Amino acid sequence: MGYVITMAGKGGTGKTTIAALIIRSIKNNKLGSVLAIDADPNSNLGELLGTKNKGSIGAILDDISASPDKIPVGTPKERFIQYQIQSAIQEGDGFDILNMGAPEGPGCYCYVNNCLRGIMAGLIKDYDYIVIDNEAGLEHLSRRITRYADCLVVVSDASNIGLKSAQRINELTKQVKFEVKRSTLLINRFNKNVDKEKIRETNLEYLGSLPFDLSLEELSLASQSIFNLKSDSPVLKIFNTLGEKIWSHN
């Protein structure tokens, strides 16, 4: 069974960047196979990982739901969907990536969504790690993929509003019965000590904070992959020890 890491947090806090850092570390430390799932329709995880977009689950399901006659005669529908989804998985260098794309349109998706859940459950078993980058806000926490996470990583800034929002995300996971083994907090772009009382109030397990790092901004401006980040960059120096708390589970 794959170890599921899922990202959450307000817009622009650094979810995609940290998802990419996690994938880079799992790959570079040779910890096992990784499936990166981009669950943000306005996605850029693939770009940050240096892969080219090969289509999305959303587009495949739209297509099947709009033209069911495309399924070859004699091929069971579920097998056809499974094949299409398998072929949407891109092989990167040391990780695979799957793009969820936009959520369903107005057609009838019950059947394809049921198939999708079964197929995703199978995929999760096939990899050692699954890293899911989500859109901002928990209402989007992609339940199309799985309703379970071994480690939820809530990314926040250090402001009061940011931490309150992180706390709300934690409460919401419980309300929507999203099953999480460990709910953690990572503060991004902050170089000082964070007020312990405010962190305690979030009821999240505090992992630490990552500093503001100009090289991350430069990488993003130059559309470069996270694998081009120099190993002596300030953020990586800290992430090398802090990140371990996210994926170690023995």
Report the interface residues with Mg ion, using CB under 5 A.
15-16
Which one of residues 36, 150, 178, 189 is an interface residue with ligand ATP (CB under 6 A)? 189
Is residue 17 near ligand ATP by the rule CB under 6 A? yes
24 or 189, CB closer to ligand ATP? 189
**Rounded CA separation 10/163 (Å):** 10
Q: Does 213 bind ligand ATP (CB under 6 A)?
A: yes
Element (H, E) at 182: strand 179-187
Reduced to 3 states (helix: H, G, I; strand: E, B; else coil), residue 195 is coil
**Which is closer to Mg ion, CB of 65 or CB of 134?**
134
Instruction: Count interface residues toward ligand ATP (CB under 6 A).
Output: 19
Q: Which stretch binds ligand ATP (CB under 6 A): 61-69, 103-111, 170-178, 211-219?
A: 211-219
CA-to-CA distance for 101 and 87, rounded, in angstroms? 15
Residue closer to Mg ion, measured from CB, 16 or 56: 16
User: Segment near ligand ATP (CB under 6 A), from 7-15, 31-39, 54-62, 197-205?
Assistant: 7-15
Contact between 136 and ligand ATP by CB under 6 A: the answer reads: yes
| CA–CA distance, 200 with 216 (Å, rounded to integer) | 29
| Candidate list 93, 195, 212, 223; residue touching ligand ATP; CB under 6 A | 212
Strand order across the beta sheet in which 90-91 lies = 90-91, 96-99, 34-39, 129-134, 3-9, 148-156, 179-187, 205-209
Binding-site string for ligand ATP from residue 50 to residue 69, where x marks contact by CB under 6 A and - marks none? --------------------
State how far the Cα of 53 lies from the Cα of 198, in Å rounded to an integer: 40
- For the chain, the distance separating the N- and C-terminal CA atoms, rounded to the nearest angstrom, is 14
Q: Measured between alpha carbons, how far is 85 from 107 in angstroms, rounded to an integer?
A: 19
Read off the DSSP letter of residue 143. Answer: T
24 binds ligand ATP (CB under 6 A): no
Q: How far is the CB of 63 from ligand ATP (least distance, A)?
A: 26
Q: Which residues bind ligand ATP (CB under 6 A)?
A: 9, 11-17, 40, 136, 188-189, 210, 212-213, 216-217, 220, 235
